[in-house]
Each structure stands twice: as C-alpha cells, then as structure tokens.
Amino acid sequence: MHNPRLALLQNYPFQRLRDLLAPLAPAEGLAPITMALGEPRHPMPTLLAEVLEQKRDLYNVYPPLAGTPEFRDAVGAWLNRRYRLPAGMIEPERHILPVSGTREALFMIAQVVVPAEKAGKKPAIAMPNPFYQCYVGAAVAAGAEPVFVPALAENGFLPDFAGLDEAVLERLSLVYLSSPANPQGAVADLDYLEKLIRLARRHDFLLVVDECYTEIYFDAPPPGALEACARLGGGLDNVMVFHSLSKRSSVPGLRSGFCAGDAAVMQDFARLRSYGAAGMPLPVLAASAALWLEESHVATNRALYQEKFRIAESILGNRFGFRRPAGGFFLWLDVGDGEEAAKKLYSEAALTVLPGRYMTWENGHGAAAGRPYVRIALVHDAATTREALERFRDTLT
C-alpha cells in the first residue's frame, strides 16, 4: 500500500534536526534562539492588511487557478521593470501563473516535463548539491533519477551542469537552479545563465530557476533567467522562473508566489494544476498584486538584512570561512562537523542551527558539500541576531 519511491527519500531536514537534538536539553539560563528555519520575521507591510480587509468579502468565492488579470498584469509589470525586459516579451495571459507558495509548484512542475523514458532510458533531474529538499522530492515522485551536481567553494558554489557526462545530459528532463542559492547565497551571472539556457535548448530539458531570494542582496541586484533570455533574443523556450512574496515582502504565511516562462509548459502546468492545486484566494491575489507593484517596503526589508550582514561581519570576521553572500539571508559557515557543532550550540548556547549535511546528498562530493557546514538564517531583528552570533562565536571558538 506504499509507494516504494518514498523509500528513496531521506527525512526532511527539520525532522532530522529534531531527531539530532531530542536527547539534549538547551543551555539553562539563556533564552533559546532558533536560526535553523528561513522564516522571515520582519514586520509585514501595512499595505497587506489594508487590501485584505478591503477585499474580505471575496473569501466566499472559489478563486480561479489562473489568478486575476490584475495579478498577472502586476507581476508582468514587475518582471519588466526588475529585469529590464523588452516590451511584449512577457504576455501575462500566456506566461504567468500564480502559485500558492513556490514549494508546491516547484514540486509539481516535474510532473509536467518528466516522460516515461528519455533517450531510451530513465529520465534524470539535475540539481545543485547542497539543494532545497523540494527538488529531490520532485525528482523521486516523478520517477526520475536525481543527479546531484557539486556546488562547492572551489566553483563559487555554482554547479557545472555542462560538465555532466553526455549520456546524462541526454537523459535530463529538468534542471533546478537556485539563484541566489540556498544555502550559500551565490548568484549566477548573466553569462552563466545564458550558457545554461543554451544547454537546456540543446538537450531539450526544462531549466527551472528558483529566484525566491532575488530581492535580498547587498550590492548589485542579482540578474535573472528571463533577463538572460532577453539577451539571447527574447524567447522563453525551455525556461521557467519561480518567485515568492515570502522573502521579498516578509509574508511567508501568505503563501503567495508565481511562475513565469515557456508558454507551452505553462499551458500543461495549468492543466495539471486544475486537478491537484488550490487556487490563491481572491483577497490574497489582490494583496499580492499590490505588493508586487510597491517597492518601498522591499527596500526597507533589504536594508534590514544588510544591517544584519554587517553585524555578522563585525562578530565573525574571517572565522569559519565567513563571507558576505551576494544574495539571500543565510550564512554558510564551515565549523568542521555541522552535526557536532549543532549539538554543542544547542546544549551550551541554546542556539539552534541547521547542519549542512541535512541539505546535501552524500554521494561523490556530498560530504564536502555539506558535512563541515552549518546554515544560519538571519531572520530575527538586529539585537537577536547580534546575541545569537556572539553565542555562536564564543561557543565554537
């Protein structure tokens, strides 16, 4: 009565963390601080509550899965503005779909593009290692072989998909890329994205770029895959991007995001979603449209993260391989053994962090990719962040 593919999945990272810490007690006399979960804690934009209240009567209407014209137009306007896309490249009716949080959509998209066979063999889905766990779950559920491509310090934490064996490239149905990367914060530049798009078109796989952290950066705004498509001539074939308000607007509980890209894939995705997805409530669609059109709260949010990275730099200096990431809100720190460090930090400093091993698949380069590291999410206010990082430094130094 059980799908045998489930046996291929390891427990989700936060369950593994709970199991690791269960025999231990947090340090006494210190307020516990959890920095394992990437759940933004900044104040929500006041605009959100205002629009939800104005549209509250619409909760008694089943929402359309395709969203509203207002939502799609707001997203299209934001994409054009943010990535300087040429006029007409994005047609909101054909290229954009709302999703109730990007995780379920990133998972479901594999069901659209993975055939029974490719090149006469089992299809494959490639992803960085470390990776967002949703990616491997999607591959396993779709019946594809997950292929883990090292994202290590020596390659700038950007996986070399083009370096895969030709036989593997021919079997690829989908490639997942996160930029800015979770957990390392690496950003793919336009040259990297262009090469990967060419690779996708040459081998006919779908390139899915998870850009959920793209509005959190320190210096330059990270480029996007649609921007690379524009530079290549404007077509969106073989490319989809995923965006969310969870990080951009600090509203993870709103479960609001969108995907945009290849019109033919989008049409099939909409058809699949009509069978198994929940539509975003109309008040949420209205509030989301308003948030995509408003930028001042995003700049305020970004400045709060920039302040916390300055705090981290002042406390950690050059310890633990600290570097200020190009994007996102995570620290990816080399502590020698992430699991042992996590236990020590919990029992001696009442601090919870995520071992890097729980974000990797340990075959080939898996141990090097994750085992020495911990991931720290800088999601709290500045004072809590300072306290947590001082405990981290004092406990592990």
Secondary structure (DSSP) of 316-330: HTTGGG----SBSSE
Average pLDDT (241-269) is: 97
Task: Give me the pLDDT at residue 236, please.
Answer: 98
Task: Give me the pLDDT at residue 88, please.
Answer: 94
Task: Give me the pLDDT at residue 235, please.
Answer: 94
Domains of the chain with bracketed CATH: 4-43+297-396 (3.90.1150.10), 47-294 (3.40.640.10)
pLDDT at 5 over 90: no
pLDDT (tens digit per residue) in 318-365: 999 999 999 999 999 999 999 999 999 999 999 999 999 999 988 766
pTM higher than 0.85 for the full model? yes
Task: Give me the pLDDT at residue 234, please.
Answer: 84
pLDDT (tens digit per residue) in 180-203: 999 999 999 999 999 999 999 999
Helices assigned H by DSSP within the chain:
13-21, 46-54, 69-83, 92-95, 102-113, 133-142, 166-171, 190-203, 225-232, 245-248, 263-276, 282-293, 296-316, 338-349, 366-370, 382-396
Residues composing the chain: 397
Instruction: Sheet with 172-178: list strands edge to edge.
Output: 96-99, 257-261, 239-244, 206-210, 172-178, 124-129, 145-150
Task: Give me the pLDDT at residue 7, please.
Answer: 81
356 burial via Cβ count (<10 Å: 0-12, 13-18, 19+): buried
The DSSP letter of residue 153 is: G
Provide the residue type at 189 as one letter.
D
Helix (H, G, I), strand (E, B) or coil at 216: coil
Exposure class string for 51-84: b at 16+ Cβ within 10 A, else e: bbeebeeeeeeebebbbbeebbbbbbebbbebbe
CA-CA distances (angstroms) from residue 100 to 109, 115, 239, 242, 290? 13, 25, 20, 12, 16
HSE-up of residue 228 (Cα within 13 Å, Cβ side): 24
Q: Give the mean pLDDT of the chain.
A: 96
| Residue 72 pLDDT level (bands cut at 50, 70, 90) | very high
Backbone angles phi, psi at 134, to 5 degrees: -55, -35
The DSSP letter of residue 371 is: T
Q: Select from 132, 105, 79 the least CA-distant residue to 280.
A: 105
Report yes or no: 154 and 184 within 8 Å, Cβ to Cβ.
no
- Give 302's contacts (C-beta < 8 A, 6+ positions apart): 215, 216, 217
Helix (H, G, I), strand (E, B) or coil at 331: strand
pLDDT (tens digit per residue) in 124-166: 999 999 999 999 999 999 999 999 999 999 999 999 999 999 9
Average pLDDT (231-240) is: 95
| Residue 2 pLDDT level (bands cut at 50, 70, 90) | confident
Provide the residue type at 265 as one letter.
V
Task: Give me the pLDDT at residue 365, please.
Answer: 66
Percent of the chain with pLDDT over 90: 94
Tokens 């954009």, located at residue: 96
Q: Select from 94, 98, 111 the least CA-distant residue to 63.
A: 98
Helices assigned H by DSSP within 22-60:
46-54
Q: Say how far apart CA 362 and CA 372 lie, in whole Å.
A: 12
